[in-house]
Amino acid sequence: MRKQKIALEAGALIDDAKKWESIDFKPIRRQVRRLQMLIAKAVKDKRWNKVRVLQYILTRSFYAKLLAVKRVTSNKGKKTPGIDGILWQGARAKWRAVFSLR
């Protein structure tokens, strides 16, 4: 019975990797960029409450988190761990990193 549970957990890990690899980042970039443009427009118009609300939405956005992990793991310093000492390598680690961001 114990072996079956381990096998099921191993199957779930593969699914996490497949999820990351199946992401189409083009609409994600578009959505995040849209929010950033709305923030810039609200700043220009000095609508500070709107700025605060849009920043709240952007920082908690699933798409923004996906894009942040993508940018950090695909740039020149991708093999350097962050301040917390964690290095996100592999699709599974990247997918889990999205959910660990706050």
Check: CB of residue 89 under 8 Å from CB of residue 20.
no
Tens digits of per-residue pLDDT, 36-68? Answer: 999 999 999 999 999 999 999 999 999 999 999
Rg (CA), the chain: 17
Please give the model's pTM, rounded to 2 decimal places.
0.77
What is the per-residue pLDDT across 86-97, written as a single tens digit (0 to 9) for each? 888 888 988 988
Nearest in space to 65 (alpha carbons), one of 17, 13, 28: 28
Phi then psi for residue 4, to 5 deg, are -65, -40
Q: Which amino acid is at 39?
A: I
